[in-house]
Amino acid sequence: MGTCSKEDCYYPSYQDRQLSKQLRDNVHGYIYLDPIFLKFVDTEQFQRLRDLKQLGLTYMVYPGAVHSRFEHSLGVYWLAGEAVHRIKAHQGLELDINNFDIKTVKLAGLLHDVGHGPFSHLFEREFLPRVLNGLNWSHEDMSIRMIDYIVDKHNIDIDREYLKKAKEMVIASTEHASPRTANEKQFLYDIVANGRNGIDVDKFDYLVRDSRACGLGCSFQFERLMDTMHVIEDEICYRAKDYLTVHKLFATRADMHRTVYTHAKVKAIELMVVDALSTANSYLRITDKIDKPDEFWKIDDSILKHIETNSSKELKEARDLIQRIRRRDLYQFCNEFSVPKDKLEHFKDITPQDIVCSQTAGRITLKEEDVAVSIAKIDLTRGRNNPLESVKFFKDYESGDKFSIQDHLISHLLPSFYQDKIVRVYAKKPELVEAVSKAFENFQLKIYGVKAQVHATPEKKRRNCTC
Protein backbone atom coordinates (compact mmCIF):
# COMPACT_ATOMS: atom_id res chain seq x y z
CA MET A 1 0.00 0.00 0.00
CA GLY A 2 1.36 3.39 -0.98
CA THR A 3 2.05 6.07 1.57
CA CYS A 4 2.39 9.82 1.28
CA SER A 5 4.76 12.32 2.75
CA LYS A 6 3.58 14.86 5.29
CA GLU A 7 3.57 17.48 2.56
CA ASP A 8 1.34 15.38 0.31
CA CYS A 9 -1.18 14.46 3.01
CA TYR A 10 -4.00 16.75 4.00
CA TYR A 11 -2.96 19.06 6.82
CA PRO A 12 -4.86 22.35 6.46
CA SER A 13 -2.49 25.20 7.26
CA TYR A 14 -3.27 28.05 9.61
CA GLN A 15 -3.55 30.31 6.56
CA ASP A 16 -6.02 27.92 4.91
CA ARG A 17 -8.19 27.99 8.03
CA GLN A 18 -7.97 31.78 8.18
CA LEU A 19 -9.31 32.04 4.63
CA SER A 20 -12.00 29.41 5.18
CA LYS A 21 -15.42 29.83 6.73
CA GLN A 22 -16.13 27.62 9.72
CA LEU A 23 -19.61 26.15 10.17
CA ARG A 24 -20.98 23.93 12.91
CA ASP A 25 -22.94 21.03 11.46
CA ASN A 26 -25.14 18.98 13.77
CA VAL A 27 -23.98 15.71 12.19
CA HIS A 28 -20.31 16.19 11.25
CA GLY A 29 -19.20 18.88 13.65
CA TYR A 30 -17.04 21.70 12.27
CA ILE A 31 -17.01 22.10 8.49
CA TYR A 32 -14.61 24.40 6.67
CA LEU A 33 -15.57 26.05 3.40
CA ASP A 34 -12.66 27.22 1.28
CA PRO A 35 -13.01 30.52 -0.62
CA ILE A 36 -13.69 28.91 -4.02
CA PHE A 37 -16.64 26.98 -2.57
CA LEU A 38 -17.93 30.01 -0.70
CA LYS A 39 -18.34 31.73 -4.06
CA PHE A 40 -21.01 29.16 -4.87
CA VAL A 41 -22.56 28.97 -1.41
CA ASP A 42 -22.99 32.74 -1.22
CA THR A 43 -25.35 32.93 -4.19
CA GLU A 44 -29.12 33.13 -4.11
CA GLN A 45 -29.31 29.93 -6.17
CA PHE A 46 -27.45 27.87 -3.58
CA GLN A 47 -29.08 29.63 -0.63
CA ARG A 48 -32.41 28.53 -2.12
CA LEU A 49 -31.60 25.07 -0.79
CA ARG A 50 -32.42 26.40 2.68
CA ASP A 51 -36.03 26.58 1.50
CA LEU A 52 -36.14 22.98 0.27
CA LYS A 53 -36.79 20.48 3.05
CA GLN A 54 -34.58 17.44 2.61
CA LEU A 55 -37.51 15.10 3.23
CA GLY A 56 -40.18 17.18 1.55
CA LEU A 57 -43.53 16.74 3.28
CA THR A 58 -42.35 14.14 5.79
CA TYR A 59 -42.24 16.79 8.53
CA MET A 60 -46.04 16.69 8.61
CA VAL A 61 -45.76 13.22 10.13
CA TYR A 62 -42.28 13.41 11.70
CA PRO A 63 -42.23 16.97 13.11
CA GLY A 64 -38.45 17.08 13.46
CA ALA A 65 -37.80 16.39 9.77
CA VAL A 66 -37.40 20.06 8.86
CA HIS A 67 -33.73 19.90 7.87
CA SER A 68 -32.91 21.30 4.44
CA ARG A 69 -31.03 20.39 1.30
CA PHE A 70 -28.67 23.22 2.23
CA GLU A 71 -27.27 21.41 5.26
CA HIS A 72 -27.30 18.07 3.45
CA SER A 73 -25.27 19.57 0.59
CA LEU A 74 -22.72 20.94 3.05
CA GLY A 75 -22.54 17.51 4.66
CA VAL A 76 -21.93 15.74 1.35
CA TYR A 77 -19.30 18.36 0.47
CA TRP A 78 -17.50 17.64 3.73
CA LEU A 79 -17.69 13.85 3.46
CA ALA A 80 -16.57 13.94 -0.17
CA GLY A 81 -13.47 15.85 0.91
CA GLU A 82 -12.88 13.49 3.83
CA ALA A 83 -13.15 10.44 1.56
CA VAL A 84 -10.69 11.64 -1.05
CA HIS A 85 -8.25 12.90 1.60
CA ARG A 86 -8.29 9.53 3.38
CA ILE A 87 -7.65 7.66 0.15
CA LYS A 88 -4.82 10.06 -0.65
CA ALA A 89 -3.30 9.60 2.80
CA HIS A 90 -2.95 5.86 2.19
CA GLN A 91 -2.53 5.60 -1.59
CA GLY A 92 -1.69 9.10 -2.73
CA LEU A 93 1.52 8.23 -4.56
CA GLU A 94 0.26 5.22 -6.46
CA LEU A 95 -3.04 6.86 -7.41
CA ASP A 96 -1.55 10.28 -8.21
CA ILE A 97 -4.31 12.15 -6.37
CA ASN A 98 -3.70 15.88 -6.66
CA ASN A 99 -5.36 19.13 -5.56
CA PHE A 100 -7.33 19.25 -8.80
CA ASP A 101 -8.93 15.89 -7.93
CA ILE A 102 -9.69 16.98 -4.37
CA LYS A 103 -11.33 20.26 -5.37
CA THR A 104 -13.36 18.57 -8.11
CA VAL A 105 -14.79 15.89 -5.82
CA LYS A 106 -15.65 18.48 -3.13
CA LEU A 107 -17.31 20.77 -5.68
CA ALA A 108 -19.42 17.86 -6.95
CA GLY A 109 -20.47 17.06 -3.40
CA LEU A 110 -21.40 20.67 -2.72
CA LEU A 111 -23.47 21.16 -5.88
CA HIS A 112 -24.96 17.70 -6.45
CA ASP A 113 -28.47 18.80 -5.34
CA VAL A 114 -28.50 22.43 -6.52
CA GLY A 115 -31.03 21.54 -9.22
CA HIS A 116 -33.52 19.82 -6.90
CA GLY A 117 -37.18 20.75 -7.10
CA PRO A 118 -39.49 21.30 -4.12
CA PHE A 119 -40.87 18.52 -1.93
CA SER A 120 -37.97 16.09 -2.32
CA HIS A 121 -38.49 13.65 -5.22
CA LEU A 122 -42.24 14.24 -5.46
CA PHE A 123 -41.69 17.10 -7.92
CA GLU A 124 -39.83 15.06 -10.53
CA ARG A 125 -41.35 11.60 -9.98
CA GLU A 126 -45.01 12.39 -9.35
CA PHE A 127 -45.97 15.94 -10.32
CA LEU A 128 -44.07 16.45 -13.59
CA PRO A 129 -44.87 13.02 -15.11
CA ARG A 130 -48.57 13.60 -14.40
CA VAL A 131 -48.90 17.07 -15.93
CA LEU A 132 -46.39 16.50 -18.75
CA ASN A 133 -47.46 13.05 -19.92
CA GLY A 134 -44.71 11.00 -18.37
CA LEU A 135 -41.86 13.47 -18.93
CA ASN A 136 -38.52 12.08 -17.72
CA TRP A 137 -36.98 15.07 -15.96
CA SER A 138 -34.22 14.71 -13.38
CA HIS A 139 -32.78 17.02 -10.75
CA GLU A 140 -29.28 15.82 -11.68
CA ASP A 141 -29.67 17.24 -15.19
CA MET A 142 -30.99 20.50 -13.77
CA SER A 143 -28.06 20.61 -11.34
CA ILE A 144 -25.70 20.58 -14.32
CA ARG A 145 -27.53 23.48 -15.92
CA MET A 146 -27.78 25.36 -12.64
CA ILE A 147 -24.02 25.08 -12.06
CA ASP A 148 -23.35 26.72 -15.41
CA TYR A 149 -25.95 29.38 -14.69
CA ILE A 150 -24.43 30.23 -11.28
CA VAL A 151 -20.95 30.54 -12.76
CA ASP A 152 -22.12 32.81 -15.57
CA LYS A 153 -24.56 34.84 -13.47
CA HIS A 154 -22.03 35.59 -10.72
CA ASN A 155 -18.89 35.69 -12.87
CA ILE A 156 -17.20 33.04 -10.77
CA ASP A 157 -13.60 32.69 -11.83
CA ILE A 158 -13.03 28.95 -11.89
CA ASP A 159 -11.14 26.64 -14.19
CA ARG A 160 -13.61 25.18 -16.69
CA GLU A 161 -11.97 21.80 -16.33
CA TYR A 162 -12.97 21.77 -12.66
CA LEU A 163 -16.55 22.44 -13.69
CA LYS A 164 -16.55 19.82 -16.42
CA LYS A 165 -15.30 17.06 -14.13
CA ALA A 166 -17.50 18.12 -11.21
CA LYS A 167 -20.59 18.05 -13.43
CA GLU A 168 -19.66 14.60 -14.69
CA MET A 169 -19.42 13.43 -11.09
CA VAL A 170 -22.86 14.85 -10.26
CA ILE A 171 -24.50 12.70 -12.95
CA ALA A 172 -22.14 9.73 -12.56
CA SER A 173 -24.94 7.46 -11.28
CA THR A 174 -27.52 8.43 -13.93
CA GLU A 175 -28.22 7.17 -17.42
CA HIS A 176 -26.66 10.37 -18.77
CA ALA A 177 -23.24 9.63 -17.29
CA SER A 178 -20.40 10.07 -19.76
CA PRO A 179 -18.36 6.95 -20.57
CA ARG A 180 -15.04 6.95 -18.76
CA THR A 181 -11.76 6.64 -20.58
CA ALA A 182 -8.62 4.83 -19.47
CA ASN A 183 -6.48 6.51 -16.81
CA GLU A 184 -9.34 8.81 -15.82
CA LYS A 185 -9.35 7.89 -12.13
CA GLN A 186 -12.78 6.29 -12.29
CA PHE A 187 -12.79 5.76 -8.51
CA LEU A 188 -13.19 9.52 -8.00
CA TYR A 189 -16.55 9.38 -9.79
CA ASP A 190 -17.82 6.85 -7.25
CA ILE A 191 -17.41 9.07 -4.19
CA VAL A 192 -20.42 11.42 -4.51
CA ALA A 193 -22.85 9.50 -6.76
CA ASN A 194 -21.84 5.88 -7.20
CA GLY A 195 -23.46 4.23 -10.18
CA ARG A 196 -21.41 1.06 -9.81
CA ASN A 197 -22.65 -0.18 -6.46
CA GLY A 198 -24.58 2.58 -4.71
CA ILE A 199 -22.10 3.18 -1.88
CA ASP A 200 -21.43 6.92 -1.77
CA VAL A 201 -21.14 9.83 0.64
CA ASP A 202 -24.55 11.14 -0.42
CA LYS A 203 -26.14 8.11 1.29
CA PHE A 204 -23.71 8.32 4.21
CA ASP A 205 -24.96 11.81 4.97
CA TYR A 206 -28.69 11.56 4.39
CA LEU A 207 -29.17 8.26 6.22
CA VAL A 208 -27.60 9.59 9.41
CA ARG A 209 -29.09 13.08 9.04
CA ASP A 210 -32.60 11.85 8.25
CA SER A 211 -32.60 9.24 11.03
CA ARG A 212 -31.54 11.84 13.57
CA ALA A 213 -34.09 14.41 12.41
CA CYS A 214 -36.92 11.88 12.62
CA GLY A 215 -35.93 10.81 16.12
CA LEU A 216 -34.89 7.33 14.99
CA GLY A 217 -31.74 5.44 15.81
CA CYS A 218 -29.24 4.67 13.06
CA SER A 219 -27.17 1.52 13.56
CA PHE A 220 -25.20 2.05 10.36
CA GLN A 221 -21.82 3.67 10.99
CA PHE A 222 -20.36 5.10 7.81
CA GLU A 223 -17.05 5.91 9.53
CA ARG A 224 -16.06 2.24 9.40
CA LEU A 225 -16.36 2.18 5.63
CA MET A 226 -14.73 5.60 5.25
CA ASP A 227 -11.71 4.46 7.23
CA THR A 228 -11.11 1.26 5.28
CA MET A 229 -11.96 2.12 1.64
CA HIS A 230 -9.13 1.04 -0.62
CA VAL A 231 -8.72 1.51 -4.37
CA ILE A 232 -7.86 -1.59 -6.41
CA GLU A 233 -7.81 -1.46 -10.22
CA ASP A 234 -9.47 1.96 -10.23
CA GLU A 235 -12.38 0.92 -7.99
CA ILE A 236 -13.10 1.66 -4.34
CA CYS A 237 -13.19 -1.67 -2.49
CA TYR A 238 -13.95 -2.66 1.09
CA ARG A 239 -12.54 -5.18 3.52
CA ALA A 240 -14.21 -8.57 3.19
CA LYS A 241 -14.85 -8.74 6.93
CA ASP A 242 -16.93 -5.54 6.64
CA TYR A 243 -19.52 -7.05 4.31
CA LEU A 244 -22.18 -6.94 7.03
CA THR A 245 -21.50 -3.21 7.50
CA VAL A 246 -21.98 -2.72 3.75
CA HIS A 247 -25.20 -4.70 3.90
CA LYS A 248 -26.37 -2.61 6.84
CA LEU A 249 -26.02 0.50 4.67
CA PHE A 250 -28.49 -0.90 2.16
CA ALA A 251 -30.77 -2.35 4.84
CA THR A 252 -30.87 0.98 6.70
CA ARG A 253 -31.84 2.75 3.49
CA ALA A 254 -34.64 0.23 2.86
CA ASP A 255 -35.86 0.58 6.44
CA MET A 256 -35.96 4.38 6.11
CA HIS A 257 -37.98 4.03 2.92
CA ARG A 258 -40.46 1.74 4.62
CA THR A 259 -40.90 3.63 7.90
CA VAL A 260 -40.27 7.25 6.85
CA TYR A 261 -40.00 8.09 3.16
CA THR A 262 -43.04 6.01 2.11
CA HIS A 263 -45.00 6.19 5.38
CA ALA A 264 -48.68 5.71 4.54
CA LYS A 265 -49.73 9.10 5.91
CA VAL A 266 -46.79 10.86 4.25
CA LYS A 267 -47.93 9.38 0.94
CA ALA A 268 -51.50 10.57 1.58
CA ILE A 269 -50.24 14.13 2.00
CA GLU A 270 -48.02 13.81 -1.06
CA LEU A 271 -50.96 12.63 -3.15
CA MET A 272 -52.91 15.70 -2.07
CA VAL A 273 -50.03 18.05 -2.86
CA VAL A 274 -49.61 16.51 -6.32
CA ASP A 275 -53.31 17.07 -6.94
CA ALA A 276 -53.01 20.65 -5.72
CA LEU A 277 -49.97 21.44 -7.86
CA SER A 278 -51.54 19.78 -10.89
CA THR A 279 -54.68 21.91 -10.70
CA ALA A 280 -52.62 25.06 -9.99
CA ASN A 281 -50.18 24.52 -12.83
CA SER A 282 -52.30 26.02 -15.59
CA TYR A 283 -52.49 29.28 -13.61
CA LEU A 284 -49.03 29.40 -12.03
CA ARG A 285 -47.30 27.83 -15.06
CA ILE A 286 -44.88 25.93 -12.88
CA THR A 287 -43.82 23.61 -15.67
CA ASP A 288 -42.77 26.54 -17.86
CA LYS A 289 -39.82 27.06 -15.50
CA ILE A 290 -38.32 23.57 -15.43
CA ASP A 291 -36.00 24.15 -18.39
CA LYS A 292 -34.97 27.69 -17.45
CA PRO A 293 -32.40 27.89 -14.62
CA ASP A 294 -33.00 31.64 -14.27
CA GLU A 295 -36.65 30.89 -13.39
CA PHE A 296 -36.35 27.44 -11.85
CA TRP A 297 -34.29 28.58 -8.87
CA LYS A 298 -37.23 30.71 -7.75
CA ILE A 299 -39.38 27.61 -7.11
CA ASP A 300 -39.15 26.17 -3.60
CA ASP A 301 -41.36 24.70 -0.88
CA SER A 302 -43.00 28.10 -0.28
CA ILE A 303 -45.16 27.49 -3.34
CA LEU A 304 -47.75 25.86 -1.07
CA LYS A 305 -48.00 28.99 1.06
CA HIS A 306 -48.29 31.07 -2.10
CA ILE A 307 -51.25 28.96 -3.28
CA GLU A 308 -52.84 28.91 0.17
CA THR A 309 -52.78 32.69 0.57
CA ASN A 310 -53.62 33.59 -3.02
CA SER A 311 -57.27 34.57 -3.46
CA SER A 312 -57.42 33.93 -7.22
CA LYS A 313 -60.46 31.90 -8.20
CA GLU A 314 -58.25 29.85 -10.52
CA LEU A 315 -56.48 28.47 -7.45
CA LYS A 316 -59.56 27.64 -5.39
CA GLU A 317 -59.39 23.88 -5.91
CA ALA A 318 -55.68 23.77 -5.07
CA ARG A 319 -56.20 26.12 -2.13
CA ASP A 320 -58.98 23.91 -0.73
CA LEU A 321 -56.72 20.86 -0.88
CA ILE A 322 -53.94 22.62 0.99
CA GLN A 323 -56.40 23.80 3.64
CA ARG A 324 -57.57 20.22 4.02
CA ILE A 325 -53.96 19.22 4.73
CA ARG A 326 -53.65 22.01 7.31
CA ARG A 327 -56.82 20.80 9.03
CA ARG A 328 -55.71 17.16 8.84
CA ASP A 329 -58.63 16.26 6.61
CA LEU A 330 -56.43 13.92 4.60
CA TYR A 331 -57.10 11.34 1.94
CA GLN A 332 -58.05 8.25 3.93
CA PHE A 333 -55.77 5.23 3.78
CA CYS A 334 -57.95 2.22 3.04
CA ASN A 335 -55.52 -0.66 2.77
CA GLU A 336 -52.39 -2.01 1.12
CA PHE A 337 -50.84 -5.19 -0.14
CA SER A 338 -47.36 -6.27 -1.12
CA VAL A 339 -47.16 -7.56 -4.68
CA PRO A 340 -46.40 -11.33 -4.60
CA LYS A 341 -42.81 -12.16 -5.50
CA ASP A 342 -43.79 -14.23 -8.53
CA LYS A 343 -45.81 -11.28 -9.92
CA LEU A 344 -43.15 -8.58 -9.62
CA GLU A 345 -41.43 -9.10 -12.95
CA HIS A 346 -44.57 -8.47 -14.99
CA PHE A 347 -46.29 -6.12 -12.57
CA LYS A 348 -48.36 -3.43 -14.23
CA ASP A 349 -49.07 -0.22 -12.32
CA ILE A 350 -52.50 -0.17 -10.72
CA THR A 351 -54.68 2.85 -11.39
CA PRO A 352 -57.79 4.35 -9.78
CA GLN A 353 -59.69 3.05 -12.80
CA ASP A 354 -58.69 -0.53 -11.90
CA ILE A 355 -60.17 -0.05 -8.43
CA VAL A 356 -63.37 1.62 -9.65
CA CYS A 357 -63.93 -1.10 -12.27
CA SER A 358 -63.73 -3.72 -9.49
CA GLN A 359 -66.66 -2.24 -7.59
CA THR A 360 -69.83 -4.30 -7.27
CA ALA A 361 -73.29 -2.89 -6.73
CA GLY A 362 -73.60 -0.76 -3.64
CA ARG A 363 -75.06 2.42 -2.21
CA ILE A 364 -72.21 4.49 -3.61
CA THR A 365 -70.99 4.46 -7.18
CA LEU A 366 -67.31 5.34 -7.18
CA LYS A 367 -65.65 7.56 -9.76
CA GLU A 368 -61.97 7.65 -10.65
CA GLU A 369 -61.56 11.03 -8.99
CA ASP A 370 -62.71 9.47 -5.68
CA VAL A 371 -59.69 7.14 -5.49
CA ALA A 372 -55.94 7.65 -5.20
CA VAL A 373 -53.33 4.93 -5.61
CA SER A 374 -49.73 4.99 -4.39
CA ILE A 375 -47.17 2.37 -5.41
CA ALA A 376 -44.07 2.30 -3.23
CA LYS A 377 -40.99 0.41 -4.40
CA ILE A 378 -38.61 -0.52 -1.60
CA ASP A 379 -35.35 -2.27 -2.38
CA LEU A 380 -31.68 -2.42 -1.42
CA THR A 381 -30.64 -0.18 -4.38
CA ARG A 382 -30.37 -3.01 -6.93
CA GLY A 383 -34.00 -3.90 -7.54
CA ARG A 384 -34.52 -7.62 -7.11
CA ASN A 385 -30.77 -8.28 -7.06
CA ASN A 386 -28.46 -8.64 -4.08
CA PRO A 387 -26.57 -5.33 -3.83
CA LEU A 388 -23.49 -7.04 -2.40
CA GLU A 389 -22.92 -8.65 -5.81
CA SER A 390 -21.96 -5.21 -7.18
CA VAL A 391 -19.52 -4.42 -4.37
CA LYS A 392 -15.87 -5.40 -4.60
CA PHE A 393 -13.99 -6.53 -1.51
CA PHE A 394 -10.38 -7.24 -0.61
CA LYS A 395 -8.82 -9.60 1.93
CA ASP A 396 -6.16 -7.31 3.40
CA TYR A 397 -4.30 -4.14 2.49
CA GLU A 398 -1.31 -6.03 1.14
CA SER A 399 -3.45 -7.91 -1.35
CA GLY A 400 -3.94 -6.50 -4.83
CA ASP A 401 -6.94 -8.68 -5.62
CA LYS A 402 -10.59 -7.65 -5.50
CA PHE A 403 -13.55 -9.99 -5.51
CA SER A 404 -17.30 -10.24 -4.97
CA ILE A 405 -18.82 -12.20 -2.13
CA GLN A 406 -21.13 -14.88 -3.44
CA ASP A 407 -24.60 -15.48 -2.01
CA HIS A 408 -23.77 -18.88 -0.52
CA LEU A 409 -20.94 -17.35 1.53
CA ILE A 410 -23.16 -14.70 3.10
CA SER A 411 -24.99 -15.16 6.40
CA HIS A 412 -28.22 -17.12 5.98
CA LEU A 413 -29.90 -14.57 8.22
CA LEU A 414 -29.75 -11.99 5.41
CA PRO A 415 -32.74 -11.76 3.05
CA SER A 416 -33.02 -14.03 0.04
CA PHE A 417 -35.22 -11.50 -1.76
CA TYR A 418 -34.39 -7.84 -2.16
CA GLN A 419 -37.45 -5.88 -3.28
CA ASP A 420 -40.95 -5.03 -2.11
CA LYS A 421 -43.60 -3.29 -4.13
CA ILE A 422 -46.44 -2.03 -1.96
CA VAL A 423 -49.77 -0.94 -3.44
CA ARG A 424 -51.76 1.46 -1.27
CA VAL A 425 -55.25 2.76 -1.97
CA TYR A 426 -56.81 5.91 -0.55
CA ALA A 427 -60.33 7.34 -0.49
CA LYS A 428 -60.34 11.07 -1.13
CA LYS A 429 -63.27 11.54 1.26
CA PRO A 430 -63.86 9.75 4.60
CA GLU A 431 -67.36 8.63 3.64
CA LEU A 432 -65.96 6.65 0.71
CA VAL A 433 -63.62 4.42 2.73
CA GLU A 434 -65.96 1.42 2.89
CA ALA A 435 -66.76 1.49 -0.82
CA VAL A 436 -63.12 1.93 -1.85
CA SER A 437 -61.95 -0.78 0.57
CA LYS A 438 -64.43 -3.30 -0.82
CA ALA A 439 -63.52 -2.42 -4.40
CA PHE A 440 -59.83 -2.84 -3.53
CA GLU A 441 -60.53 -6.28 -2.05
CA ASN A 442 -62.47 -7.26 -5.17
CA PHE A 443 -59.55 -6.13 -7.31
CA GLN A 444 -57.16 -8.37 -5.38
CA LEU A 445 -59.49 -11.36 -5.75
CA LYS A 446 -59.83 -10.70 -9.47
CA ILE A 447 -56.08 -10.37 -10.09
CA TYR A 448 -54.56 -12.80 -7.57
CA GLY A 449 -57.46 -15.05 -6.58
CA VAL A 450 -56.96 -14.11 -2.93
CA LYS A 451 -56.85 -10.99 -0.80
CA ALA A 452 -53.17 -10.12 -0.71
CA GLN A 453 -53.49 -7.57 2.09
CA VAL A 454 -52.39 -8.65 5.55
CA HIS A 455 -55.07 -6.88 7.58
CA ALA A 456 -58.69 -6.05 6.97
CA THR A 457 -59.65 -2.39 6.93
CA PRO A 458 -60.73 -1.52 10.51
CA GLU A 459 -64.50 -1.48 10.95
CA LYS A 460 -64.31 1.92 12.65
CA LYS A 461 -62.78 3.39 9.51
CA ARG A 462 -65.19 1.54 7.21
CA ARG A 463 -68.21 2.81 9.11
CA ASN A 464 -67.11 6.45 9.00
CA CYS A 465 -69.78 6.91 6.40
CA THR A 466 -72.61 9.41 6.13
CA CYS A 467 -74.27 7.77 3.12
Half-sphere exposure of residue 306, counting CA atoms within 13 Å on the CB side?
12
CA angle 147, 288, 54 (to 5 degrees): 50
Q: How many residues does the chain have?
A: 467
Rg of the chain over all Cα atoms, to the nearest angstrom: 24
Nearest residue to 391 via CA among 404, 407, 408, 382: 404
Determine the straight-line distance between the first and last CA of the chain, rounded to whole angstroms. Answer: 75
Residues 6+ apart with CB under 8 A from 138: 124, 174, 176
Q: Active site includes 116?
A: no
Tell me the sheet residues that pair with 10: none
Angle at which helix 139-153 crosses helix 99-111, to 10 degrees, equals 110
CA angle 29, 191, 164 (to 5 degrees): 110
Residue pair 225/199 in contact (Cβ under 8 Å)? The answer is yes
Distances (CA, A) of 252 to 108, 205, 208, 209, 247: 25, 12, 10, 12, 9
Helix (H) or strand (E) holding 147: helix 139-153
Q: What is the dihedral of CA 274, 275, 280, 284, to 10 degrees?
A: 10
Contacts 24+ apart (CB under 8 A), 119-122: 119/53, 119/56, 119/57, 119/270, 119/273, 119/301, 120/53, 120/54, 120/55, 120/56, 120/57, 120/58, 121/56, 122/56, 122/57, 122/270, 122/273, 122/274
Which position among 85, 139, 230, 247 bears the catalytic label? 139
**Enzyme catalytic residues:** 139
